[in-house]
Chain A
Amino acid sequence: MSPKLSRRSFLRMAGASAAGLAAGAQLLPKVRVFAAPNGQEVVRISFAGWGQVAEQDGVVAAIEAFQAENPGIEVEWRHTPDTDFTTVFLSNIAAGTPPDTSFIASNNYETFRNQGLLLDITDYITNDPLLGQPDYFLPQEAQRSADDNGRWHGIGSTWVAPHIYYNAALFEEEGITPPGFTDDEIWDWDTFLAVAKQLTVDSNGLHPDDDGFDPDNIERWGVQYPFSNETYIAAAVFSNGGQMVNENGSALDSPEAMEAMQRMADLIYVHHVAPQSASLSSLGMSNTQMLDTGRLAMAVDGSWALSWINSSLLTVPIGTGALPKMTQPATHMQAHFHGALAATEHPDEAWQWLRFLATPFYTLQFMKIGLWLPSQTAQTTEEGLAEWITEGIHPDNYVDFVSEYLPNYGVAYRVPPGYVEAFTNFLNPAYEAIANGTPAVDVMPEAVRQANEVIAAAIAASS
């Protein structure tokens, strides 16, 4: 230690800088209003979210456009490029540094709403000249965003829904008419199964109903209908006349729901037309590569996957069609929400930003690349479609999907509070058991009973 810096002054300096740091940290969250060069006050709001490269780029572009339109507001993007976004989000809330606005996972929306975490934006929407128009959003939006009293605490970012992707070259080669989205093009389950069998081939060139077919050495699977995302299960359940939730919580112990899940599993274990793995990523190839290499004829995947399963990116032409109907055509519509936190000090600015996210600039950029479906009615009209349907990404019949199929057969539902816990601890393990060959009737009733205890407790805790 140099003679000039005594131990005592060192200690004193260290103490002072620690205190300074602590005081500065205390001040930081409160200093939110800055003066812009032209003397106008700038309000800074934060926006938390997850997402891969495409979403990240889209948000950054939206922030630039928004700030250009609203020079008085600055949006700070807090990006967590990870699926465990909620962990970071909740830690920030517990630490007293919540974001002003945020992505809200659809499974957490009702839980957070019940906890009073989210800002009620109903009046903002009603008074908005654009968003307040009765038909501004597709009808499913209000079914999911509004609570029992018609209050909104967030706006769905968009819609996504599962459908079939198929290798069009293979269908042509085999002379099979592929599925579409109009009523006469939607397959029933038996047709779907028959085609899947026709397209499934083992290493000796045999099909599942042939003598000597070897289910352990399948060269090409007819279809993959995975359990890896609850949205695929929901679509099947709705299609079989079942419900995902009712007033007790999960409704997956109904005969219709269990039969739907059993049909999905039977594709693997009874009919040998689908691979066994819970998800294709654990097959070493994603469904995309398998479609591309002809090892898979049809894949059930979310509409978002169109941004990578498309004819521009793959070597084979890709077609899309509706999911097969069990008793009725149906798919499941969902998406994350955008919400403001009730604790925000700048509700008006937060609303301006949320509003911007629900206008065409933000949504169109994702729709054009195939990641999102429209959430605004104007985007489903002939003029609206022309603004985003992109050649090479959207197959010719995608227009039917958006303007005919979804309005008629798309089902959205509100996920009850406590659902993440119920899903993680009880429902998802039951899905995994079914995907692994256990009959649905053996696991679902108990899983639903346990899940609904959790949901009942979550509802009781918030009321």
Chain B
Amino acid sequence: MTTTAEVRNTDPRAQPLLKRRLTLSQRRNITGYLFISPFILGFLLWFLIPALIALYLTVHRWNLISAPQFVGLDNIEHLFNDPLLPQALKATFTYTIVAVPLGLLISFGLAMLLNNQLPGIGIFRTIFYLPSIIPAVASAALWAWIFNTEFGLMNVLIRSLGGPKVPWLQSPDWALPALIIMSLWSVGGSMIIFLAGLQGIPDIYYEAAEIDGAGRWKKLRHITLPMMSPVIFFNLIIGFINSFQVFVAGYLITDGGPTNATLFLVLYIYRTAFRSLNMGYAATVSWLLFFILMGLSFLVFRYIGNRVYYENPGE
């Protein structure tokens, strides 16, 4: 672009010359860039520049108070002898490995149920979707009550069935399962995506299968699942990425405890930065998280992605 020339050139007689120099497609490009500039600016300011600063910090020690000091590979070395990192990884992996498949199953099942044409189905769809638009903080407060050991709904239910009093949020063995159960409450988002996917499957396939004598299970196995595989795959990837970044529940309900049982990776990054005043190491763990997510996404694309059926592969 020749904006410098434009700005300098204030002589009105020069205008036609400039008009000629900007072709239609150039002008269109400018308009295009203007329209996408909110994204570009956001990407630069809130992603790329912070990520690069984080990269710079991985080789520095910085407590936010004094200037960063170059420490070479100390932070990366510390990844291998940090006593808390294995626990943070374990909590995050366990959470992901259990919560994501369970969430997919439940949201898929709900979507199947809500795909029926019943009177008032819209109300049910709304009810099941509602939890996912409740602010995370509000639902965290709500679930802290549900998991209350003495008076919480969960224990009232369990004890009325003759079960024991489960110390949900007090016990290191139960806190993580409690947060996993809580995560299932907000499957509404993926449920809606599944529902949209289900409605995109033409009835003609099911009719043809019925004529061929296929039962419910066979229709599910040979029509619904293959046709839905791109949607399942999408929800899987998004689910993985989101659950690796889980923060609010661990921060608000358990504060990483008891005994670090719910010390999720992102919570650990936050603590390292603002309680341990170690920005450099926090940035290093952030980059570790990035590589974990990239690696996992690669594996999922490689080993699960090739089993996805695309109806119109050209698109």
Residues of B contacting A428 with CB < 8 Å? 257
For B1-44 the 0/1 string (1 means CB < 8 A from A) is 00100110000000000000000000000100000000000000
For A232-276 the 0/1 string (1 means CB < 8 A from B) is 000000000000000000000000000000000000000000011
B139 to chain A, nearest CB (A): 17
The answer to whether A17 has its CB under 8 Å from any CB of chain B is: no
- Contact of B259 with A436 in the complex, beta carbons under 8 Å: yes
The complex places the Cα of A433 from the Cα of B169 at a distance, in Å, of 12
- Contact of A420 with B258 in the complex, beta carbons under 8 Å: no
| Residues of chain A from 71 to 125 with CB closer than 8 A to chain B in the complex | 84, 86-87, 90-91, 93-94, 111-112, 115-117
The answer to whether B123 has its CB under 8 Å from any CB of chain A is: no
Contact for B149 among A90, A94, A283, A421, CB less than 8 A: A283
The answer to whether A450 has its CB under 8 Å from any CB of chain B is: yes
The answer to whether B66 has its CB under 8 Å from any CB of chain A is: yes
- Contact of A282 with B169 in the complex, beta carbons under 8 Å: yes
Residues of A contacting B271 with CB < 8 Å? 424-425
Q: Report the interface size for chain A: residues with CB under 8 A from the other chain.
A: 39
B70 to chain A, nearest CB (A): 14
The answer to whether A430 has its CB under 8 Å from any CB of chain B is: yes
The answer to whether A8 has its CB under 8 Å from any CB of chain B is: yes
- Contact of A86 with B276 in the complex, beta carbons under 8 Å: no
Given the known A-B contacts A432-B258, A436-B259, are A117 and B65 also in contact in the complex, defined by CB atoms under 8 Å? yes
- Contact of A424 with B148 in the complex, beta carbons under 8 Å: no
The answer to whether B170 has its CB under 8 Å from any CB of chain A is: yes
- Contact of A433 with B259 in the complex, beta carbons under 8 Å: yes
The complex places the Cα of A436 from the Cα of B174 at a distance, in Å, of 12
- Contact of A450 with B65 in the complex, beta carbons under 8 Å: no
Given the known A-B contacts A90-B277, A436-B171, are A112 and B65 also in contact in the complex, defined by CB atoms under 8 Å? yes
Residues of A contacting B30 with CB < 8 Å? 7
- Contact of B172 with A433 in the complex, beta carbons under 8 Å: yes
Given the known A-B contacts A111-B277, A420-B276, A424-B275, are A94 and B64 also in contact in the complex, defined by CB atoms under 8 Å? yes
The complex places the Cα of A91 from the Cα of B83 at a distance, in Å, of 27
Across the two chains, which residue of chain A brings its CB closest to B152?
Answer: A284
For B124-166 the 0/1 string (1 means CB < 8 A from A) is 0000000000000000000011001111100000000000010
- Contact of B275 with A276 in the complex, beta carbons under 8 Å: no
Residues of A contacting B205 with CB < 8 Å? none
For B61-77 the 0/1 string (1 means CB < 8 A from A) is 10111100000000000
Across the two chains, which residue of chain B brings its CB closest to A216?
Answer: B165
Residues of B contacting A111 with CB < 8 Å? 277
The answer to whether B167 has its CB under 8 Å from any CB of chain A is: yes
A61 to chain B, nearest CB (A): 30
Residues of A contacting B256 with CB < 8 Å? 424
Residues of A contacting B149 with CB < 8 Å? 276-277, 282-283
Q: How many A-B residue pairs have CB under 8 A?
A: 92
- Contact of B275 with A420 in the complex, beta carbons under 8 Å: yes
Residues of B contacting A424 with CB < 8 Å? 256, 271, 275-276
- Contact of A12 with B7 in the complex, beta carbons under 8 Å: yes
- Contact of B259 with A282 in the complex, beta carbons under 8 Å: no
The complex places the Cα of A115 from the Cα of B257 at a distance, in Å, of 29
- Contact of A425 with B171 in the complex, beta carbons under 8 Å: no
- Contact of B64 with A90 in the complex, beta carbons under 8 Å: yes
The complex places the Cα of A194 from the Cα of B48 at a distance, in Å, of 64
The answer to whether B115 has its CB under 8 Å from any CB of chain A is: no
For A404-446 the 0/1 string (1 means CB < 8 A from B) is 0000000000000000110011001110110110000000000
Residues of A contacting B277 with CB < 8 Å? 90, 111, 420-421
The answer to whether A278 has its CB under 8 Å from any CB of chain B is: yes
The answer to whether B84 has its CB under 8 Å from any CB of chain A is: yes
- Contact of A86 with B171 in the complex, beta carbons under 8 Å: no
Residues of B contacting A11 with CB < 8 Å? 3
The answer to whether B229 has its CB under 8 Å from any CB of chain A is: no
Given the known A-B contacts A284-B145, A420-B275, are A430 and B165 also in contact in the complex, defined by CB atoms under 8 Å? no
B19 to chain A, nearest CB (A): 11
A335 to chain B, nearest CB (A): 20
Residues of A contacting B260 with CB < 8 Å? 425, 429
- Contact of B148 with A282 in the complex, beta carbons under 8 Å: yes
The answer to whether B301 has its CB under 8 Å from any CB of chain A is: no
Residues of B contacting A429 with CB < 8 Å? 257-260
The complex places the Cα of A285 from the Cα of B144 at a distance, in Å, of 12
Across the two chains, which residue of chain B brings its CB closest to A432?
Answer: B258
- Contact of B170 with A277 in the complex, beta carbons under 8 Å: yes
For B217-256 the 0/1 string (1 means CB < 8 A from A) is 0000000000000000000000000000000000000001
A457 to chain B, nearest CB (A): 10
The complex places the Cα of A283 from the Cα of B148 at a distance, in Å, of 6
Residues of B contacting A8 with CB < 8 Å? 6
Residues of A contacting B275 with CB < 8 Å? 86, 420-421, 424
Q: Report 28 cross-chain contacts, Cβ distance below 8 Å, ordered by A residue.
A: A12-B7, A86-B275, A90-B64, A117-B65, A216-B165, A276-B149, A277-B149, A277-B167, A277-B170, A278-B257, A282-B144, A282-B170, A284-B145, A424-B256, A424-B271, A425-B271, A428-B257, A429-B257, A429-B260, A432-B257, A433-B258, A435-B170, A436-B167, A436-B170, A436-B258, A450-B83, A454-B276, A461-B63
